[in-house]
C-alpha cells in the first residue's frame, strides 16, 4: 500500500494449514486497517500450483478488473500469476504487482524477478530437531509440555512490485 497499490488481492493454498490461515488473517487485517476491500481472495485447501495461480488471477480479475496488486501464499502460485499476466499482456508491476510469502532462489530467476518473503527453512528444521531431542531427553513425564520458537524472515523487494 505504501507503493500506491489500492486494489490488492490475496491468493492462497493449503488454507487448512494454521500458518496459511494466519497469513490470510494478517492480509485481511492490513486491508481493513487501510480501509481497503478485503474481499478479493481466492483460496483452496489444495496444494499450491502454477495452474491454481493462473485460475485464481482470472477469478479475481473477473470480480475486480481494477486489481493492481496480488499477494500469493506460495511461490508456485505467484509464478502462475506471472505467467497469466504475461499471457494477457498485463505489464508487471505497472499493470499488476505480484509478491509471494514463500519465496526461494527461483524468485531471482523469473522475469520480472519476484518480490518475496524468504524464510530460512533449513534453520527452522535444525531448530525443530533440537527441540524434539530436548523434549525426548527430558525425563519429565509431563505430556502437555510444548515448545515454540519464532523465526526471522527476510523481505526481498524485486522487480515484480
Residue 26: per-residue pLDDT? 86
**pLDDT digit string (tens) for 26-81?**
888 988 887 888 889 999 999 999 999 999 999 999 999 999 999 999 999 999 99
CA–CA separation, 128 and 110 (whole Å): 31
CA–CA separation, 158 and 3 (whole Å): 13
Query: CA nearest 157: which of 17, 3, 38?
Result: 3
pLDDT band (50, 70, 90) for residue 89: very high
CA–CA separation, 146 and 143 (whole Å): 8
Residue 144: per-residue pLDDT? 62
Residue 93: per-residue pLDDT? 96
pLDDT at 142 over 70: no
Residue 24: per-residue pLDDT? 87
User: All 3 cell numbers of residue 135?
Assistant: 523434549
pLDDT band (50, 70, 90) for residue 15: confident
CA–CA separation, 159 and 97 (whole Å): 9
pLDDT band (50, 70, 90) for residue 17: confident
**pLDDT digit string (tens) for 95-136?**
999 999 988 888 989 999 999 988 777 887 888 888 888 888
Q: Is the pTM of this model over 0.85?
A: no
How big is the CA angle at 152 (ends 45 and 93), to the nearest 5 degrees?
65
The full set of domain ranges for the chain reads 8-120
Asked if CATH classification 3.30.43.10 holds for the domain at 8-120, the reply, yes or no, is no
Residue 81: per-residue pLDDT? 98
| DSSP structural state of residue 75 | H
Amino acid at each position: 500500500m505504501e507503493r500506491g497499490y489500492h486494489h490488492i488481492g490475496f491468493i492462497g493454498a493449503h488454507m487448512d494449514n494454521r500458518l496459511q490461515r494466519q497469513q490470510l488473517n494478517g492480509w485481511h487485517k492490513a486491508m481493513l486497517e487501510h480501509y481497503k476491500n478485503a474481499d478479493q481472495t481466492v483460496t483452496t485447501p489444495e496444494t499450491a500450483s502454477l495452474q491454481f495461480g493462473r485460475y485464481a488471477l482470472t477469478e479475481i480479475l473477473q470480480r475486480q478488473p481494477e486489481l493492481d496488486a496480488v499477494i500469493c501464499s506460495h511461490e508456485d502460485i505467484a509464478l502462475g500469476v506471472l505467467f497469466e499476466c504475461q499471457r494477457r499482456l498485463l505489464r508487471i508491476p505497472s499493470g499488476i504487482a505480484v509478491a509471494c510469502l514463500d519465496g526461494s532462489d527461483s524468485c531471482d530467476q523469473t522475469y520480472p524477478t519476484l518480490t518475496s518473503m524468504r524464510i530460512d527453512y533449513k534453520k527452522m528444521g535444525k531448530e525443530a530437531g533440537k527441540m524434539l531431542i530436548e523434549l525426548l531427553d527430558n525425563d519429565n513425564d509431563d505430556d502437555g509440555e510444548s515448545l515454540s520458537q519464532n523465526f526471522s524472515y527476510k523481505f526481498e523487494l524485486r522487480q515484480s512490485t
